[in-house]
Amino acid sequence: MGDTALGIVSGGFWAPDFDNAQSRQFVQAFEAKYGHIPSNYAAQSYDAALLLDSAIAKVKGNVADKPAFMAALKEADFDSVRGDFSFSNNNFPKQGMHVMEVVKDDKGRLTLKTIGTPFKSYQDAYHAQCPLK
């Protein structure tokens, strides 16, 4: 879309300008390795790897113990690029939802700039109807 995307406002769970240590480290390492700004998909995949690493460590590598591994995953004991992150009763992420605008960064590249956070620790609209505990 190029410059025609400038000014578009969207919503999501992460943007490259997030001001937390894990996100800053991720963005810096990603840009150094790949030469461009990471996408939301890259951030989500990185979080998934951190979550798996944490859970595998908690069960000392014994992923065959499925109840223990599932409990370790549910704990979400890792530093997320998203900031605060946990799982809701229905195993969907409980996270902030942010409003972002497409802008150019100081290098002239298109990126997302966070302009607001209307929902902190947001749970999906149907979590209360889910029988999972």
Backbone angles phi, psi at 33, to 5 degrees: -80, -40
- Quote the pLDDT of residue 24: 97
Q: What is the pLDDT of residue 125?
A: 86
Cβ neighbours of residue 72 closer than 8 Å, sequence gap 6 or more: 54, 55, 56, 58, 59
The pLDDT tens digits of the residues spanning 83-132 come to 988 999 888 999 999 999 999 999 999 999 999 999 998 888 888 888 87
Spell out where the chain has E strands: 9-12, 85-87, 93-104, 110-122
* Structural domains present in the chain: 2-129 (3.40.50.2300)
What phi, psi does 108 have (nearest 5°)?
85, 10
| DSSP secondary structure letters along 68-90 | HHHHHHHHT-S-BTTBSEEE-TT
pLDDT class for 51, splitting at 50, 70, 90?
very high
Give this prediction's pTM.
0.88
Cβ pair 117, 99 in contact under 8 A: yes
Report which secondary-structure segment, H or E, holds 53: helix 40-58
Residue 13 pLDDT: 94
Mean pLDDT score of the chain: 94
